[in-house]
Amino acid sequence: MGRAALYDDDILLWSEQQAEVIRRLGAARRDLPNDFDVENVAEEIESVGRSELASVESFLRLLMLHLIKIVSVPSSPATLHWREEARNFGAEAFNRFAPSMAQRVNLEGAWRLACDQALATLDDHGDPLPALPDKCPFAVENLVRQPIDLPWLLVRLEAACAPAGRMIRP
């Protein structure tokens, strides 16, 4: 895969590779200008990929937050809006997702944040608090696909919230 294709297909991997090339260049070449800040330029290029990874994690957290709300209060007037938001957040995650992110997405961290946010919001509105599982019931590949399989995700979450789940308090 060429550099241009890698940039388009996997910005995280591209940014790491380019940062490494800059570091090697800085170490090997003594004819570079003294004011060329090799390490900070490499760090900035790496931050491009890390920013995209953080963006994907944020969209996945928002997707799971909305799934929790839908399962928790299915009769809410806001359910249609939550479903639309879940689809939108899933699409955004899919659009920004790169293959090298699959093993790096902190899905458990995003799940815990989604649970905390959902429980706090539900509690604020006087809605029942669900028994949520400790571990995320989804794999990354379940969440970053298009079209998103919202019915499957909801059934999966409902099953995970069965009595074996643990109540998480805000």
CATH class of 52-167: mainly alpha
Mean pLDDT in order along the chain per 10 residues (170 residues): 72 86 78 72 85 96 98 94 98 94 95 96 90 95 94 96 54
The length of the chain, given as a count of residues: 170
User: What integer pLDDT is reported at residue 4 of this predicted model?
Assistant: 66
Q: Degrees (nearest 5) of the Cα angle 49, 58, 119?
A: 160
Alpha helix stretches (DSSP H) within the chain: 3-9, 11-28, 38-72, 79-96, 107-124, 140-143, 150-160
What pLDDT, on a 0 to 100 scale, did the predictor assign at position 22?
Answer: 80
User: What is the pTM assigned to this prediction?
Assistant: 0.85
Classify the C-alpha dihedral 141-143-147-151 as positive or negative.
positive
3-class SS at 144? coil
